[in-house]
Homo-oligomer: A and B are copies of this chain.
Amino acid sequence: MLVQSLNTEQLIIESARKHFAARGFSGVSLQDIAADAGTTKSMVNYYFRSKEKLFSVIFLREFQLLFSSIASFLLEDLPLKEKITNIVSLDVDRLLKMPELPVFIMSEMHRNPEIVLKHLEHIPIDQLLLQLDKQIRRETKQGIIRYIPPRELMINIQSLTIFPFLSKPMMTGRLGYTEKTFTALMMKRKKDIVDTIWKSIAV
């Protein structure tokens, strides 16, 4: 395999992604991004016109990453419990690879809600929730679970999955976790989350 060196635009994107995720929009200067990409601020403006536009590009990519595959998992033809298992497993794996993603999304979403809403418009949330609602009602009728509003089910799943990554600095800093034990906890936690969710709705 060739060691393909990236072009300047790609280097800038990768550097910007890293810096924005670590310190947010206003915590990063074009100088930081350019230096880390081995080029100058002028090149950043040349490719992306402005800091805002560069940020928008980065944010969109990360945002889609976080929400894309959940949708396809929800639409699969599987029992609810298996869907939940798949979503949790996928999310934990992905978050372990990019643990700074949630706090990036969260803080920028509060700083600038409009940018999120604009991107969310392209995701058929209502349809996904309706679909999920049908399945919940079906399995309720079959006596498998008790009814739970689909939005609340999703909030519970996301809460138990994402929150530990948001409080990771506290866990590794003072609660006695290291990088290794944190990863181990999260791998074990996949099963715990599904168990907790399922016990809360199982008949």
Contacts and interface: CB of A to CB of B under 8 A. Distances in A.
Interface of A: 22-27, 100, 103, 106-107, 109-111, 113, 116-117, 120-121, 125, 151-152, 155-156, 158-160, 162-164, 166-167, 169-171, 173-176, 185, 189, 192, 195-197, 199-200
Contact of A173 (B27, B116, B160, B195): B116
Given A27-B111, A106-B106, A167 B158 contact: yes
A5 B160 CA distance: 44
22 contacts: A23-B26, A24-B24, A26-B27, A27-B111, A106-B106, A106-B167, A109-B167, A116-B173, A120-B170, A120-B173, A125-B174, A125-B175, A151-B175, A155-B163, A155-B171, A156-B160, A159-B164, A162-B163, A195-B200, A196-B197, A196-B199, A196-B200
The residue in A162, A163, A175 that gathers the most chain B C-beta atoms within 10 A of its C-beta is A163
B111 A23 contact: yes
A4 B125 CA distance: 48
Contact of A160 (B27, B116, B160, B192): B160
B169 A163 contact: no
B173 A117 contact: yes
A22 B24 CA distance: 13
Given A162-B163, A200-B196, A170 B116 contact: yes
The quantity of this chain's copies bound in the complex is 2
A167 B125 CA distance: 15
Contact of A25 (B27, B109, B152, B170): B27
Nearest to A25: B27
A109 B23 contact: no
A72 to B, nearest CB: 19
A107 B169 CA distance: 10
A201 to B, nearest CB: 9
B192 A152 contact: yes
A102 to B, nearest CB: 8
Contacts of A23: 26, 111
